[in-house]
A and B are shown apart, each in its own frame.
Chain A
Amino acid sequence: MSLMKHFAAATASIALTAGAAVADPALIFDLGGKFDKSFNESAYEGAQRWAKETGGSYKELEMQSEAQREQFVRRMAETGANPIVVMSFSNIETLNTVAPDFPDTKFVLIDGVVDQPNVRSVMFAEHEGSYLVGMLAAMASKSDTVGFIGGMDIPLIRQFGCGYAQGVKAVTPDATVIANMTGNTGAAWNDPVKGGELAKSQISQGADVIFAAAGGTGMGVLQAAADADILSIGVDSNQNHLHPGKVLTSMLKRVDNAVYAAFKAGEAVETGHVNMDLAAEGVGYALDENNEALITEEMKAAVDAAAAKIASGELAVHDYYTDNTCPAVSF
Chain B
Amino acid sequence: MTAMPKWADAVLVPLISLLIAFFISGLVILAIGEDPIAAMKLMVTGALGSTYGWGYTLYYATNFIFTGLAVSVAFQAGLFNIGGEGQATLGGLGVAMACLFIPWPHWSLALVAAVFASALFGAAWAAIPAYLQAKRGSHVVITTIMFNFIASALLVYLLVNVLRPEGALDSASARFGDAMRLPRLNDILALVGIPFNNRNPANISLLIALASCVGVWLLMWRTRLGYQLRAFGKSEKASVYAGINPVRMTMYAMLISGGLSGMMAINTVMGEAGRLLLNSVEGAGFIGIAVALMGRSHPVGVLLAALLFGFLYQGGAELALWTSIPRELIIVIQALVILFTGALDDMVRRPVAGLFLLMKKGKA
Interface residues of A (CB under 8 A from B): 2-3, 6-7, 9-10, 13-14, 16-17, 31, 33, 61-62, 64-68, 70-72, 74-76, 89-90, 92-93, 111-113, 152-156, 158, 184-186, 321-324
Contacts and interface: CB of A to CB of B under 8 A. Distances in A.
Given A67-B201, A72-B321, A92-B170, A7 B160 contact: no
10 contacts: A16-B42, A62-B320, A66-B273, A67-B201, A92-B169, A112-B170, A152-B156, A184-B155, A321-B167, A321-B168
Most B-side CB within 10 Å, residue of A9, A10, A112? A10
A65 B170 contact: no
Contact of A156 (B156, B169, B277): B169
A2 B272 contact: no
B49 A9 contact: yes
A13 B171 CA distance: 36
B272 A67 contact: yes
B344 interface: no
Contact of B42 (A13, A152, A153, A185): A13
B279 A186 contact: yes
A10 B152 contact: no
Contacts of A10: 45-46, 49-50, 52-53
Interface of B: 38, 41-42, 45-46, 49-53, 56, 59-60, 149, 152-153, 155-157, 160-161, 164, 166-171, 175, 195, 197-201, 268, 272-273, 275, 277-280, 282, 313, 316-317, 320-323, 327, 330
Contact of A7 (B42, B52, B157): B52
Most B-side CB within 10 Å, residue of A16, A158, A323, A324? A16
Contacts of A70: 199, 201
Given A61-B321, A74-B199, A13 B41 contact: yes
7 closest A-B pairs by CB: A89-B169, A184-B156, A184-B153, A13-B45, A6-B197, A154-B171, A89-B170
A71 B41 CA distance: 19
Nearest to B175: A93
A61 B164 CA distance: 28
A112 B157 CA distance: 22
B84 to A, nearest CB: 16
B164 to A, nearest CB: 7
B3 to A, nearest CB: 43
Contacts of A67: 56, 59-60, 201, 268, 272
Given A10-B49, A17-B323, A153-B160, A66 B169 contact: no
